[in-house]
A and B are shown apart, each in its own frame.
Chain A
Amino acid sequence: MAAGSVFAHVPRAPPVVVFRLTADFREDADPRKVNLGLGAYRTDEGQPWVLPVVKKVEQKIANDASLSHEYLPILGLPEFRANASRIALGEDSRAIKENRVGGVQCLGGTGALCIGAEFLRRWYNGTNNTATPVYVSSPSWENHNSVFANAGFKDIRTYRYWDAAKRGLDLEGLLEDMESAPEFSIFVLHACAHNPTGTDPTLEQWKQIAAVMKRRFLFPFFDSAYQGFASGCLDRDAWAVRYFVSEGFELFCAQSFSKNFGLYNERVGNLNVVGKDADNMQRVLSQMEKIVRAIWSNPPSQGAHIVATTLACPQLLTEWKDNVKTMADRVSLMRSELRARLQALGTPGTWNHITEQIGMFSFTGLNPKQVEYMIKEKHIYLMANGRINMCGLTTKNLDYVASSIHEAVTKFQ
């Protein structure tokens, strides 16, 4: 190349916020520091937790001489796909029995969203229709926007979700936005444990949402990253997705096993496709193969084997459900303990949202000034929008975190 460089104009991109937060946390030398940023489970000792059932199954896999490192099929390990779909849609799912459900093994929940978005851009609402509006909740996981933009969608909008004043779901705003959305718009819905707010619609509210979406021909794309983790019960956490399926919707559901199996770095996910009939599924899956082949060819083997082995064995399945409940229960406990302390301290404001919200995250309602105080003065790391990861709380740091929140709220308004 000539003296200049072809990449001289490439600007430095800002780091992804949540990773920056963790990096800052790591560099912080203060012994009181607490990381309430990143969305990963921690034990009461503040340590990552490899699920006991996972350890068991990995041992089993390691001793299985018949397993090699051969390529999986493009759409992934068949036993994984089938079992994952059963977990998402239910053992007794009629849609599965009717052969109108397909799974695409993907790299985590992100990978499933990516493949789903790519497919929708190519084949939904015409062919290659980049103008179909995509609605993402306000707020949402920040990567949702990027996934759909990268897939080529030009019109990504928000739908009202979080009511900051009442610290709850803005159902009226949500439904209004759905009523006024152009027909055939795609809506990204959080199946449970909404990230970042921890606020889910009630069953009745989901029914209202489904009714509007049906009437307006809106496409449901569920993001299910916390099944089991939210309430502690897999079936309960899958209620919304299953309700939509029973209402006759064709939908996508991006399913992640990062949190509920603790398999974060193995990248285990499943894109569930629910269609009208089996014929459509065949054609849809054949096109999914084309998309996958040009992005990663075939998915990673290790994590899929762990999940498939676990789900296919009744005893291991039970163990897994117990492990999931352990995590969900600890989160629940931290919620009630934090709320109790804040109320005992007389911290200004209401704090019932801490226990009413569900899943890993809580939208505390702390404002940017208060957040800054927490980080800079108290060495407690949380997102600028006030989101905290409940898993970062332990019996040892609860008092410190509660008193710090108290200080932040009383010092700054």
Chain B
Amino acid sequence: MALLQPARLLLAAAAPRRLCLAPGAARASSWWSHVEMGPPDPILGVTEAFKRDTNAKKMNLGVGAYRDDNGKPYVLNSVRKAEAQIAAKMMDKEYLPIAGLAEFNKASAELALGDTNEVIKNGRYVTVQTISGTGSLRVGASFLQRFFKYSRDVYLPKPSWGNHTPIFRDAGMQLHAYRYYDPKTCGFDFTGALDDISKIPEQSVILFHACAHNPTGVDPRPEQWKELAAVVKKRNLFAFFDMAYQGFASGDINRDSWAVRHFIEQGINVVLSQSYAKNMGLYGERVGAFSVICKDVDEAKRVESQLKILIRPMYSNPPINGARIASTILTSPDLRKEWLEEVKGMANRIIDMRNQLVANLKKEGSSHNWQHITDQIGMFCYTGLKPEQVEQLTKEFSIYMTKDGRISVAGVTSGNVGYLAHAVHQVSK
């Protein structure tokens, strides 16, 4: 039907590639013949292979979602209660404003910055509801592409979450990296990071993981954050924080947002992406927020108006369900208290599994230093295992993880941590 002959073509002066199909192919030809198969997602591939495995002892350590000690998804009680409260109110389904649920936005900013923060008191910020962390990053990236006129360059830690790159690139920004993970120590390459950051061209955008770095689990210590803030300030860099694990990292929401608050205290007007996928277990409800710390209220209003212009042609306005749940929890003292305990519970289980894994490795007789497993924080752990060792773990023991040696500690339970330790020892002794 769509006959594309070389002779009659595309009108543009620019020379996009031409489609030349033989006239005889008329009926069979498609607009999409030239569309390439997208490369398979590395993490999804792990889950697919896991599903096919029939070994009873199999473990899926690729999953980036919290599991309880029985390996099951965990719906928080505070979430269930909030849902019941919401259902009882029998609210309508009218569109949210473009910027989302106002109570959610306010509560989200206060959660990140602390409700006594000067920024909150002076109202010199704007927070918009977004489609979880990804949506927040994309709105932020698009906003910078349109309004940050000083640079197109975004510096990510090396390594970073795989999706950061396509998000910023699709939004029209250029990606670069600064040293972050030191494979020799399985820890933070502080001197490397400082060295690289001090050479970043002024007024570039630099992205930081606020806590529980994904994929390494390696976070700077507070003293190190202070130095990072100092060099960011000195180089006049634009700081973009991605906070997907507040509360989930240490179990303490204030501790996990310390870096963000410190930067702001130092006079650095950051932008911030928040996600409630993990810390409230609201994954599929897509709850997130994007905040811009501004000079003053007037700037905040101007910025908000432009964020709305960006959002409207993407999806008009955000989904309400998850935001209502999050907002109900954050603004009801009882539910908030219960939530904070549940978050602590999740974080503690992760920490416990880290401890048990190291203890079991010692018991197995491993002579390696596995301290990084307990030094690292959050859902993920960069074990330091090499691709060949990972392959062996999968082939011989049905333990699935990504090739970079990353495991999701959330997939470890007291029931399988011994097996995991045994297997890791076997491939690494």
Which residues on A are within 8 Å of B, measured CB to CB?
1-2, 5-16, 19, 40, 47-50, 54, 58, 62, 68-72, 106-108, 110-111, 114, 123-133, 143, 146-147, 149-150, 182-184, 214, 217, 219, 248-250, 258, 262-267, 275-277, 280, 282-284, 286-287, 289-291, 293-303
Contact = CB atoms under 8 A, between A and B. Distances in A.
B312 A16 contact: yes
A294 B313 contact: no
A9 B149 contact: yes
Contacts of A249: 1
A286 B38 contact: yes
B38 A6 contact: no
B313 A282 contact: no
Contact of B38 (A11, A50, A290): A290
Interface residues of B, number: 92
Interface stretch (B318-326, B340-348, B389-397): B318-326
B231 interface: no
A165 to B, nearest CB: 32
A133 B10 CA distance: 10
A395 B286 CA distance: 40
A54 to B, nearest CB: 8
A110 B315 CA distance: 5
B230 interface: no
Interface in B297-354: 299, 301-303, 305-306, 308-310, 312-322
B14 interface: yes
Interface centre among B131, B134, B299, B315 (most CB of A within 10 A): B315
Contact of A295 (B138, B169, B316, B318): B138
B16 A131 contact: yes
A125 to B, nearest CB: 6
Contacts of A303: 319, 321
B81 interface: no
A379 B16 CA distance: 53
B223 interface: no
Interface stretch (B87-95, B107-115, B174-182, B250-258): B87-95
User: Secondary structure of the B side of the interface?
Assistant: loop
A235 to B, nearest CB: 24
Contacts of A58: 87
Interface in B5-64: 8, 10-14, 16-19, 28-38, 41
A299 B310 CA distance: 19
B282 interface: yes
Contact of A69 (B35, B79, B305): B79
B426 interface: no
A284 B163 CA distance: 20
Given A130-B14, A264-B95, 6 more contacts: A12-B301, A16-B98, A69-B281, A300-B321, A300-B322, A303-B321
B317 A265 contact: yes
Contacts of B387: none
Contact of A250 (B1, B97, B312, B318): B1
A263 B314 CA distance: 18
Given A7-B147, A12-B305, A143-B312, A69 B284 contact: yes
Nearest to B309: A13
Contacts of A107: 131, 314-316, 318-319
A111 B315 contact: yes
Contacts of B17: 126-127
B294 interface: yes
Nearest to B323: A265
A284 B35 contact: yes
Contacts of B37: 282-283, 286
Nearest to A218: B2
Given A10-B302, A62-B87, A1 B236 contact: yes
Given A5-B295, A263-B93, A266-B319, A71 B29 contact: no
A15 B312 CA distance: 11
20 contacts: A6-B150, A9-B147, A12-B302, A16-B98, A16-B312, A50-B93, A70-B73, A71-B65, A72-B284, A107-B314, A129-B10, A146-B312, A146-B313, A150-B314, A217-B2, A219-B31, A263-B93, A265-B319, A266-B319, A300-B131
A110 B314 contact: yes
Contact of B285 (A108, A127, A301): A301
Given A40-B95, A69-B283, A124-B31, A283 B163 contact: no
Nearest to B166: A294
A250 B32 contact: yes
B5 to A, nearest CB: 10
A289 B44 CA distance: 12
Contacts of A149: 313
A40 B94 contact: yes
Contacts of B309: 13
A8 B95 contact: no
A8 B150 CA distance: 12
B238 interface: yes
Given A7-B295, A293-B163, A302-B319, A147 B313 contact: yes
A192 to B, nearest CB: 20
Interface centre among B93, B147, B305 (most CB of A within 10 A): B93
Contacts of B36: 283, 287
B167 A7 contact: no
